[in-house]
């Protein structure tokens, strides 16, 4: 080959395009201690319904309870980043007038980070025990 003739380099190897890599990552912030206390109080005072209220046999009802899940609200999120969700929840006052097998239905929800949920579960147990021992 003559020196003045340039060769085109080979294209680098590329794997298959993974569309999940093109999706946005879920970045769920941690709650402040005060906000987490409010969550615990709302939970123990039965003002909110959470995904943790579902039994293992009822987990498949989650999209029907939190309707945005059924409508694909997580379809544009990287699946591996969903692991940071500790629970989904919403206030009972925002429930639709219908229910699904006795469970409320919502057109919105909030998410709690898994680390906050771990802290909240311990605080919920302590608060429930404390409320049981209130002297009357």
Domain assignment present for residue 14? The answer is: no
Q: Please compute, for residue 136, the number of CA atoms within 13 A of its CA located in the half-sphere on the CB side.
A: 3
Q: Mapped to the 3 state alphabet, what secondary structure does 58-123 carry?
A: HHHHHHHHEHHHHCCCCCCECHHHHHHEEEEEEEHHHEEEEEECCEEEECCCEEEEHHHHHHHHHH
User: Could you tell me which residue, 37 or 25, shows the higher pLDDT?
Assistant: 37
Residue 97 CB neighbours (<10 A) = 6
Q: For the chain, what is the domain count?
A: 1
Domain assignment present for residue 22? The answer is: no
Q: Please, which pLDDT band fits residue 25 given cuts at 50, 70 and 90?
A: confident
Mean pLDDT for 52-64 is: 95
Predicted model pTM: 0.80
Mean pLDDT for 66-86 is: 94
Domain that holds residue 54: 29-132
* pLDDT at residue 23 in the model: 76
């Amino acid at each position: 080959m003559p020196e003045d003739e340039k060769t085109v380099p080979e294209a680098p190897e590329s794997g298959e395009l993974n569309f999940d890599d093109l999706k946005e990552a879920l970045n769920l912030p941690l709650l402040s201690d005060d906000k987490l206390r409010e969550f615990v109080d709302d939970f123990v005072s039965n003002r909110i319904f959470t995904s943790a209220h579902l039994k293992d046999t009822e987990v498949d009802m989650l999209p029907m309870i939190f309707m945005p899940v059924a409508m694909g609200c997580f379809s544009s999120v990287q699946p591996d980043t969903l692991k940071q969700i500790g629970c989904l929840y919403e206030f009972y006052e925002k429930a639709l007038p219908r229910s699904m097998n006795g469970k409320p239905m919502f057109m919105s929800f909030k998410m709690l980070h898994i680390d906050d949920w771990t802290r909240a579960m311990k605080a919920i147990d302590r608060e429930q025990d404390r409320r049981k021992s209130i002297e009357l």
